[in-house]
Chains A and B, each alone.
Chain A
Amino acid sequence: MSAPALQALRPLHCIRAGLLPALFVAQLWSGAARAEALDQSEALAWLQRIAEAARALNYRGTFVYQHGDQAETSRITHFVDRTGEYEKLETLDGPRREIIRNKDEILTFYAESGVVKRERRTAHKLFPALLPEQLAAITEHYELEKDGQARIAGYDAQALKLKPRDGFRYGHKLWAEVNTGLLLKARMFDEKNEMVEQFHFTEVTINSLLMREAVKPTFPIPPNDSRRGGRGEAALPADTGWMVRDQPAGFKKIMEMRRLKQSGEGYVAHLVFSDGLAAVSVFIEPLPATRHPVEGLSQQGAVNIYTRPMSDQLVTVLGEAPPVTVRQIANSVVPKSR
């Protein structure tokens, strides 16, 4: 409430007990409204800081990824110089795997089989960080608030809570280092408020003096596949001829592309929908006549996957969203009317 309005309400002789409810409400609207609004804008600013920190800081640390009853430890190194961002993730538990990210591509190395998977990045120019439109979408579908401070991996961290406004998205809790904004811990909650996934730094050095060597792959990079080289990019924005007719509120299409299959044989249509905080991907590919998949749901960490055959096509929808969301999206995939 504005200060003048408060003054107007203050004279005691103006007020009797019968007025109290109205006054209560008036006070509450404005007091709570302002507190919520302030809190929300601060929380949004924190989200931006987190995205900025993820891009701009040099850091190296160990984090635990927890999903279901499993926990796995990995080491991550992020390095930035004038030529761009470089990142390396090495798993420390279980089979040795390594992911290298640079400005053009993602390389995944499976040490046990020696396989390297190469993924061209299609959108690094489009999605440098959280965009203002994304932030606006977030406030529309989540209640944001600051949630106190905590100490994580030896740093003071600001906690943020993002509560979904409906059942079509998960809740989030994030902890950002107070000085740099680096995300130290992130948790996702399902509709029953149970944790579905957590990232948690146990140890991290921020703004560490790193050499480029620290983000070099330890595996030999295979030469560019000639099949792919011959056809240019492996994924290109395109009109795929498919659309989603009835996605849950707030999920807007942010990308549509044609993706060359890893096998090099044929294309997959890939549509991406996002509410600003979660993304859901839709993949549509021709179904081989020899295979008869059944409709069904599976899950990996916070990612739900829903598959269904649709005449001679196979539709796969996956994203860090509740089962109901991926299923609804999968069930409303239709060919665009021509």
Chain B
Amino acid sequence: MERISELMDGELPARECKRQIERLEHDTKLSTEWDTYHLIRDALRQEVELRPDFARRVHARIEREPTVIAPHTRLAHRVIRYTLPMAAGVAGVAVVGWLALTAQPPGGAGQMQAKAPVTVPSAAAMSDYMRAHQEFSPRTAMQGVASYVRTVSADETAPAR
């Protein structure tokens, strides 16, 4: 564990750093610590807080990455070159992951949508509710009264006198 912190701080001799990286690769407990150290370091430096399971989530995404190219020569040079597109790849996977995740929202929204819309409570009461709601929508904080256009949309019937 001490070694890990040394590795992080760049205090290990080259040979030892290889050994530690190998350990990191095989020891999940150790890799969690590696993760935690980074989190602590970021917190100390008051850098933006990361979720503690960040590494695990990135791992999960990498698992889903279709291609991993492992060149045999001039490694360090290549690593940097491959890392950038990979990071972009992660962003892409995030979108796909999100779609896959939300395609079937819990509770089966599909069933619900099959039901015909109802007009109870009355249109007038609904319109009152819509207006009352807008005040608390964070959207109103971002775009002011523009969000209230939802309440006067043309398909709304005007309240009777």
Given contacts A33-B38, A113-B160, contact A106 B131 (CB under 8 A): yes
B64 contacts partner chain A, Cβ-Cβ < 8 Å:
no
A279 and B146 form a contact (CB under 8 A):
no
Contact of B130 among A145, A191, A277, A300 (CB under 8 A): A300
Number of chain A residues whose Cβ lies closer than 8 Å to a Cβ of chain B: 136
Q: What is the distance, in angstroms, from B154's C-beta to the closest C-beta of chain A?
A: 3
Residues of A within 8 A of B136 (CB): 123, 127, 254-255, 272, 274, 279, 281
**In the bound complex, do residue A72 and residue B142 qualify as a contact, i.e. CB atoms below 8 Å apart?**
no
> Which residues of chain A are within 8 angstroms of B58 by Cβ–Cβ distance?
25, 28-29, 32-33
Which chain B residue lies CB-closest to A161?
Answer: B95
Complex: A24 Cα to B87 Cα, angstroms: 11
Within residues 1 to 41 of chain A, which ones have a CB less than 8 A from any CB in chain B?
1-35, 37-38, 40-41
> Is the beta-carbon distance between B159 and A117 smaller than 8 angstroms?
yes
- How far apart are A209's CB and chain B's nearest CB, in angstroms? 19
Residues of B within 8 A of A40 (CB): 48
Interface residue? A156 (CB, 8 A): no
- The binding surface of chain B is classed by DSSP as helix
Q: Which of B70, B113, B120 contacts A21 (CB 8 A)?
A: B70
Mask, B90-114, CB within 8 Å of A = 1, is 1100110011011111111100110
Asked if A252 lies at the interface with its beta carbon under 8 angstroms from chain B, I say no
A202 contact set on B, CB distance < 8 A: none
What is the bound-complex CA distance between A50 and B144, given in angstroms? 10
A191–B115 touching, CB < 8 Å: no
Report chain A residues within 8 Å CB of B112.
297, 323-324, 327
A320 to B141, CA, bound (A): 14
Task: List chain B residues, Cβ under 8 A from A299.
Answer: 117
User: Does chain B have a CB within 8 A of A148?
Assistant: no
| Chain A hits for B54, CB < 8 A | 29, 33
A163 CA to B129 CA, complexed, in Å: 28
Give which listed residue, B14, B103, B143, contacts A186 with CB less than 8 A.
B143
Which one of A22, A89, A191 contacts B103 once the chains associate, using CB atoms below 8 Å?
A191
Q: Which residues of A contact B62 (CB under 8 A)?
A: 24-25, 28
* B15 and A14 form a contact (CB under 8 A): yes
Interface-centre pick from A5, A262, A293 (highest chain B CB count, 10 A): A5
A60 within 8 A of B: no
How far, in Å, is B2 (CB) from chain A's closest CB? Answer: 15
A63 to B41, CA, bound (A): 46
Interface positions, chain B 1-47, Cβ under 8 Å from A, are 7-12, 14-15, 17-18, 21-22, 24-25, 34-35, 38, 41-42, 47
Q: Encode B115-140 as 1/0 by CB contact (under 8 A) with A.
A: 11111110011111111110111110
Closest approach, in angstroms, between the C-beta of B81 and any C-beta of chain A?
11
Check A108–B11 contact: CB distance below 8 A: no
B120–A127 CB distance below 8 A: no
B87 touches A29 (CB 8 A): no
Q: Using CB atoms, name the residue of chain A closest to B72.
A: A17
Q: Which residues of B contact A33 (CB under 8 A)?
A: 38, 50, 54-55, 58
Contact of A163 among B42, B75, B94, B131 (CB under 8 A): B94
Contact B142 A37, beta carbon cutoff 8 Å:
no
The smallest C-beta distance from B85 to any residue of chain A, in angstroms, reads 11
Can you name 30 A-B pairs with beta carbons within 8 Å? Answer: A4-B9, A4-B11, A9-B21, A21-B70, A24-B68, A25-B58, A27-B80, A29-B58, A33-B55, A54-B143, A67-B153, A76-B144, A89-B152, A99-B149, A106-B148, A117-B131, A130-B138, A143-B94, A163-B98, A262-B128, A279-B138, A293-B120, A301-B153, A303-B150, A314-B121, A320-B137, A323-B109, A323-B112, A324-B108, A327-B109
